[in-house]
Structure 1
Amino acid sequence: MRGLWPLRPAIDRLKTQLLKRSWVVHTSHYCNNLNRDSMDLNHSSSITIPVSGTIPNASNSVGDRKPIALWPGIYHSPVTTALWEARSKIFERLLDPPKDAPPQSELLTKTPSQSRTSILYNFSSDFILREQYRDPWNEVRIGKLLEDLDALAGTISVKHCADVDSTTRPLLLVTASVDKIVLKKPISVDKDLKIVGSVIWVGRSSIEIVLDVIQSSEGGSETSDMVALTANFIFVARDSKTRKAAPVNRLAPETEQEKVLFEQAEERNLLKKKKRGEKRDFESGEVNRLKALLAEGRIFCDMPALADRDSILLRDTRLENSLICQPQQRNIHGRIFGGFLMHRAFELAFSTSYAFAGLVPCFLEVDHVDFLRPVDVGDFLRFKSCVLYTELHNPDQPLISVEVVAHVTQPELRTSEVSNTFYFTFSVRPEAKATKDGFKLRNVVPATEEEARLILERMDADSMQ
């Protein structure tokens, strides 16, 4: 080896030249106009690599009509494109409604089976799809699944409201609220997944849709054992021209199960109407709870050295992020896709829970969500999160309640309005907890009366479910 040392500089120069020549060979097929003979390896050369769209058949448009692959929503999920392809005729009318068309003249009566729609994820055989949905723990990304649930619920509402008369103007359907989303078992990304949904109840202008996420498990032969997640969405109909509430087609349940679901939804709707507009007054017992919470928080503010080390102020659990809403995030009506908002809120809530617990969280459920204000392209959207409270009664499954509030901010007008408030519940992954001896979650205490009231209201709302 020592005898070869004088040759080392020449060998290194030869390696460099071979590497440069190899780079030229591997990149030259991207550069049709590149003159190989004029390339000087002793000087830096500018290489242009052309980039083209990966959407199939994007150029196959008919006249002025865009292909379905370029409609709004493609950037959210493969599910959106698949749903629109399957019902292209209905969605074309929504994308380009007839001008000056009259509203639907006569309401139809439809059955839940007429709106029932299912989608299948071939995770076991489709590697690309599997990678799009995989999270770091080899489970399905819940945030992306929330997007898909909203997209499927929207498709089902459109199917129910579709008019047989193609000359009438279609309704504008928007997500009004999410009643509940509950995860019943972890969802693997290695097994095929199915989502089934249908309309279970309608009011004058509102529609309730139930969705079941189904995945078979070893040893689980019953259908109920296969349901991994359930979700209830409420959509409302608006006249696409006047933007006022519009009546929707009626619903006629057929099976006993459909009739039970209809009655349960009817009871929930009546209870919501009863509670709507009611202002809660704290009774004497609750006032004492309020004072006790504030007393503990006051110690943190006034005598932090004497505060309970197993507690933390609510304001110290906060996280925040913001974004400008882009055209790629809009739905077919030009507004920001509700599923996108849920996705972003979930990601922040997950991060908040992670930072608070110090261990990987496990999602359990989304509580009732109201979509109070539409979000438009170009809006400045801010998400603010905090841990509201923890429950430590069950050491095997401690609970973390996280609130995420989405604000539409308009700096020019110096205004900020709440568009959505989300409530998520997490636990801690058992396998993560097993790696940390003496793990214990902190209690969350308020520093203001407003925070104390919010904590008590959420505690009571969760205990009633």
Structure 2
Amino acid sequence: MNWSKLLQNVYSVGCMCGRRGLLKECSPDVQLTSFEARKLLQNIVGSPKHFGEPVDPQVASEANQLPKKQTDLPAKRMLDSYKEMVIPLGRDKNHRDKYLLTENSLRFGRFFEDLDTMAVLISYGHNHDPSKGPTHKSPISIVTAMVDSLKTKTEQVNHEKDLFVRGHVIWVGSSSMEVSMIVEQELNGRMNQVIAANFLMVARDPITKKKAFVNPLDLRSPEEEALFELGQAHKQTRTLQSQTSVLKIPPNDLERNSLHDMFLKTVDTKSIPFFCIFNYCNASVCSLRHCLYHVSGTLNNLIPPANCVWMSDAGLKNVLHCFQQQRNLYNKVFGGYLMRKALELAHANAITHSKSLTHLKCVDDISFRQPVEIGHLLFLSSRIVYTHKKLLQLRVHAQVLNPLTDEQKTTNTFQFTFSAEKDVPTVVPRTYAEYMLYVEGKRHLDSHL
């Protein structure tokens, strides 16, 4: 593969036509496969080919000359970052095997890896300096900060046909960018949308690890302005969600009443006379002790209602040793790999709970708080936190452990929404912490209905 020619073709794309959710689409001279996109990124970034090798000297040298303010960088059009990629399920049977879950279903976690790669490639395209040539290596590091949203648009995905990924930058801050992407597949002679995704990317100085400025956007049409405003609205929504988290604001009156009703349904009034204990509540210390004894006994003998499961029994766990084969361009564990493993654990959790095939509906609020180092242990804990008829809301918590120091850190939290083929058992919380997870899960699911 002539990577110099490929780089030239990728950076020379520039046509405009309407597309729902994107500014444009076009056909580059060379359409990248997902494998070629990863190899291309290695050349753009100048990342070492082998684990432990030093960073490219050119990148280290230019990192010391990064702009001190954003206005020093030229403004870019949205079309400057437009990229296309093909996931060759149809043309490459060996590649297809990596995506198959069963004979006719696909591993959506593999798409996470491809979308993460695509988002990084698009971000580098936005910040590329064309005056330095197509083979010039980027002096900044760009990583995924958050998956703002990822929604599946259809359950009809043909595992024997290619999938096409298209996307570009729609919003920028001083050091962050929002990348919007769609995945499509030909169906009955027309392109059918499979996935719509928005990734939040951040730029960093590869030496100091502090923020690096990104090129501002030059908005020249109403379509571009509308997309930029959409990205701005996404930012405001993220800010609002962080301010209204159950960790900062308690449940509202409606949520509290719902939780109390749920609690009452779990009380076993036959084994212990819960509603009779209040007869003992008078000024007598002895009676108060008797009351507390009955309350304690009652709370320890809660039972789930019919067709319900305790939240504590609706989870799965996994532990992974992070090897260098899963490293990204910066010798950390690849974010797409983390998302895939979290999704696959959540999927296993969903199908064991529902006893049916499940389909991924939506992913949101995937935040990357800490990088995962090679050699560390990654603990994944999945739990079904809310259910409604055929829908399941799952939360996966990722924690990393340094086996040499015992230092533990939360690296990621994931929110997944699945649909089953039939109504699923209701998940019921039993502790206060579980009630808060229930409220959080219900808010996530309600936001997608």
* Fold shared, TM-score > 0.5 on shorter chain: yes
Q: 1:239 to 1:296 in 2, by over 3 A?
A: farther
1:115 to 81, 96, 103: 81
- Where do residues 76-225 of structure 1 align in structure 2 (5 Å cutoff)? 81-86=35-40, 89-92=43-46, 96-98=56-58, 99-101=60-62, 102-105=64-67, 106-164=72-130, 170-186=139-155, 187-218=157-188, 221=190
Question: How many angstroms does 1:245 deviate by?
Answer: 1.2
Establish whether residue 308 from structure 1 lines up as the match of residue 305 from structure 2: yes
Picking from 217, 230, 249, the partner of 1:264 is 230
TM-score, with normalisation over the residues of structure 1?
0.74
Any idea what SS the aligned residue of 2:186 has? coil
Q: Does the Cα contact within 8 Å between 1:90 and 1:162 map onto a contact in 2? A: no
Distance 2:445 2:148 in 1: 13
1:257-312 Cα deviation digits (max 9, x unpaired): 332111111122133335545521333333222323344456596336x6422111
| Structure 1 pair 86–323 and aligned structure 2 pair: CA distance change class (3 A) | closer
**Does the Cα contact within 8 Å between 2:382 and 2:394 map onto a contact in 1?**
yes
Question: In structure 1, what is the equivalent of residue 391 of structure 2?
Answer: 399
Aligned to 1:320: 317
Which has the larger displacement, 206-215 or 97-106? Answer: 97-106
- Residue deviations 1:193-218 (CA, integer Å, cap 9, x gap): 10001111000110100110011212
Q: Superposed, which structure 2 residues align to 1:437-452 within 5 Å?
A: 440-452=423-435
Partner of 2:285: none
| Contact 2:321/2:376 (8 A) holds in 1 | yes
Question: How far 1:227 moved relative to its partner?
Answer: 1.0
Q: CA deviation at 1:445?
A: 0.6
Q: Partner of 1:293 in structure 2? A: 262
CA distance in 2, matches of 1:298, 1:412: 46
User: How big is each residue's C-alpha offset from its partner over 1:382-437, in whole Å with a ceiling of 9 and x where there is no partner?
Assistant: 00011111111xxxxx10111111111234444432111111111124xxx5xxxx
Task: Write the letter of the residue equivalent to 1:337.
Answer: F
- CA distance in 2 between partners of 1:97 and 1:292 (Å): 64
1:37-76 equivalence runs, <5 A: none
> Match for 2:357 among 350, 354, 360?
360
Write the distance in 1 (CA, Å) between the matches of 2:89 and 2:168.
Answer: 23
Give yes or no for contact 1:97–1:169 (8 Å, CA) kept in 2: no
- Inter-CA distance 417–144: structure 2 relative to 1 (3 Å threshold): same
Q: Which residue identity lines up with residue 459 of structure 1 in the other structure? A: K
| Larger-Rg structure | 1
Q: CA deviation at 1:87?
A: 5.8
> For residues 132 and 290 of structure 1, what CA distance do their matches in structure 2 show?
43
Matches within 5 A, 1:381-396: 381-392=378-389
Residue 252 of structure 2 corresponds to 283
Question: RMSD over aligned Cα, in angstroms?
Answer: 2.6
Question: Which whole-Å CA distance do the structure 1 matches of 2:388 and 2:85 have between them?
Answer: 36
SS at the partner of 1:153?
A: helix
Confirm or deny: 8 A CA contact 2:47 2:329 kept in the other structure: no
Contact 1:104–1:163 (CA under 8 A) maintained in structure 2: no
Q: 1:456 to 1:164 in 2, by over 3 A?
A: same
Q: How does the TM-score come out when normalised to structure 2?
A: 0.76
Q: Is the 8 A contact 1:389 1:455 kept in 2?
A: yes
Superposed CA offset, 1:204-244 (max 9, x none): 110100110011212x64x5xx1111010001111111111
Q: Which runs of 5 or more structure 1 residues have no equivalent in the other structure?
A: 1-55, 58-77, 393-397, 434-439
Q: Which amino acid aligns with 1:447?
A: R
Q: What is the match of residue 422 of structure 1?
A: 414
Equivalent position of 1:243 in the other structure: 209
2:400 to 397, 405, 408: 408
The answer on whether the counterparts of 1:119 and 1:195 sit within 8 Å (CA) in structure 2 is: yes
Does the C-alpha gap of structure 1 residues 79 and 336 become closer, same or farther in structure 2, counting only changes over 3 Å?
farther
Q: Aligned partners of 2:444, 2:223: CA distance in 1, in Å?
A: 27
Contact 2:304–2:310 under 8 Å retained in 1: no
Separation in structure 2 between the aligned mates of residue 376 and residue 234 of structure 1, nearest angstrom: 21
Aligned length: 371
Whether the 8 Å CA contact 2:85–2:164 is kept in 1: the answer is yes
CA distance in 1, matches of 2:42, 2:343: 30
Q: Which whole-Å CA distance do the structure 2 matches of 1:92 and 1:80 have between them?
A: 19
CA-to-aligned-CA distance 1:351-376 (integer Å, 9 cap, x gap): 00011011121111112211111111
Contact 2:45–2:137 (Cα < 8 Å) also in 1: no
Q: Is the 8 A contact 1:371 1:420 kept in 2?
A: yes
Map of 2:5 onto structure 1: none
Deviation of 1:314 (Å): 0.3
1:453 is the counterpart of 2:415: no
Letter in 2 for 1:448: T
Post-superposition offset of 1:88 = 6.1
Residue of structure 1 in register with 2:274 after alignment: none
After superposition, the C-alpha distances for 1:101-155 in whole angstroms (9 at most, x for unaligned) are 3333331211111111111233333222222222204233201111100011111
Query: Separation in 1 of the partners of 2:431 and 2:265?
Result: 11
Q: Distance in 1 between matches of 2:97 and 2:173?
A: 40
Partners of 2:386 and 2:307 lie apart in 1 by 13
**Residues 81/285 of structure 1: CA separation in 2 closer, same or farther (3 Å cut):** closer
Match of 2:345 in 1: 348
The alignment partner of 1:151 has SS state of: helix
Q: Is the 8 A contact 1:296 1:445 kept in 2?
A: no
- Letter of the 2:146 partner, please give it: S
Once the 2 structures are TM-superposed, how far is the Cα of residue 80 of structure 1 from its aligned partner?
Answer: 5.2
Aligned partner of 1:104: which letter?
L
Letter in 2 for 1:247: F
User: Aligned AA for 2:252?
Assistant: E
Indicate the residue corresponding to 1:376 in structure 2: 373
